[in-house]
Amino acid sequence: MSGSKRQEKGMTLIVKTITRLTVGLILLYGIYILLHGHVSPGGGFAGGVIIALSFIHIMLAYGKETAFSKLSKAKASLLESLGAILFIAIGILGFTGGYFFFNFFTDKGEAFRLFSAGIIPLCNIAISMKVGAGLFTIFVILVLLKFKTGGKDPRQGS
C-alpha cells in the first residue's frame, strides 16, 4: 500500500480516504442543485460549479492522471461546446412558439414540482454543462499550463 507509485501522486492517505468518501456526495449535491434550480435557490451555474468542484477535488487529492481518467481535457472541451450549443438550440426551438427563447412547452406542470416550468430545467442542464466543463478546464489550465517566456517562437493559440 505505501511506497507504491500511486501513493506518490497526490496528497496523503487521510486526504485520499476522505475524498473517496465525500466526492460522490459532492457530485450528487451538484446534480441536486442543478435539477432543482427552478424550484429552489441554485440553478445551472451553481450546480455546474459544484459538479466541477467534485472533479477538481479528485485532481487535488489523487493527482492529474486519476482526474483525467474520469474527465479528460478533450471530453471537457466537448462538453463545454455541447452545453453552449444545447442552450442556443433551446432558444432557437422557441421559434416554434413564435419567439426566441419562447417557453414552448404548453403544459408548464404544477408549481414547485420537479417536472415543471417548461424549458427552464433544460436551460439549467445546458448551463451546468457549459459552466462545469468550463470551470474544470480553467482550473486545469491555470494549474498545468506553463509559458516559456523569452523562448524561441511559441506561437500557440490554445
Per the CB < 8 A criterion, the answer to whether 83 and 128 are in contact is: yes
Place of cell 459532492: 26
How many residues sit in the footprint of other proteins (CB under 8 A)?
27
Per CB under 8 A, the list member of 15, 22, 27, 91 interacting with other proteins is 91
Place of cell 442552450: 87
Per CB under 8 A, the list member of 93, 94, 105, 109 interacting with other proteins is 94
98 binds other proteins (CB under 8 A): yes
Place of cell 445551472: 44
Residue 54: phi, psi to the nearest 5?
Answer: -65, -35
For other proteins, the closer of residues 8 and 153 by Cβ is 153
Per CB under 8 A, the list member of 22, 66, 103, 137 interacting with other proteins is 103
For residue 42, the minimal CB distance to other proteins (Å) is 20
Separation CA 133–CA 48 (nearest Å): 8
For other proteins, the closer of residues 100 and 112 by Cβ is 100
In eight-state DSSP terms, residue 148 is: -
Which residues have C-beta within 8 Å of that of residue 91, sequence separation ≥ 6?
A: 100, 101
For other proteins, the closer of residues 57 and 130 by Cβ is 130
Summarize as ranges the residues that interact with other proteins (CB under 8 A). 77-78, 80-82, 84-85, 88, 91-92, 94-95, 97-103, 147, 149-150, 154-158
